Amino acid sequence: MAFYQQSGVLFFGSRLRRISESFLADVNLVYKKHQIRFDAAWFPVFFMLSQKDSVSIRDISEELEVSHSAASQLISKLQEKGLIKSTADKADGRKKTVALTTKGQKLLKQVQPIWTAMQKAMEELLEESEHTVNLMKAITETEASFGKTSIFNRIEKHLP
């Protein structure tokens, strides 16, 4: 890890990816240990469907800030596993909405205690030092800055 730390901001993206991969691997390990067939990549969609009975694929795409294609691919995987069902929207037949199947609802009940424990674990982690206390706020502010001016544009303005 010293290599990454010594290299400064040039490795910003690499460090974030490593943290993300490590986090997701550990969360998936918890699911596996508790014999729950759930993948951390499914979390955003399942969480959205834990809040609402059904959601359009467009809403999933917009809320998660991913392409419609990426949202559709994830929905397709969940449908193949029998966890989600897709129906045409009653108001607009071109629009698809998704909802958890009975199997998906059963899985949701299994993962919710994990989510509660994960929330507590992450709160503990973020309270461990004076710098991590503000990590989520810093991430939010960084995302907002990316939204105003992309990294591409920021790099380009410094090139000859």
Residue 145 lies in a domain: no
The per-residue pLDDT for 92 is 74
Residue 148 lies in a domain: no
Report the distance separating Cα 139 and Cα 149, nearest Å. Answer: 15
The per-residue pLDDT for 4 is 66
DSSP letter at 96 equals E
CB-count exposure of residue 117 (10 Å: 0-12, 13-18, 19+): exposed
Per-position pLDDT tens, the chain of length 160: 577 677 778 888 888 999 999 999 999 999 999 999 999 999 999 999 999 999 999 999 999 989 999 999 999 999 999 999 998 877 777 788 999 999 999 999 999 999 999 999 999 999 999 888 999 999 999 999 999 999 999 999 999 9
What CATH number has the domain bearing residue 78?
1.10.10.10
Residue 2 lies in a domain: no
Report the distance separating Cα 146 and Cα 152, nearest Å. Answer: 10
Number of domains in the chain: 1
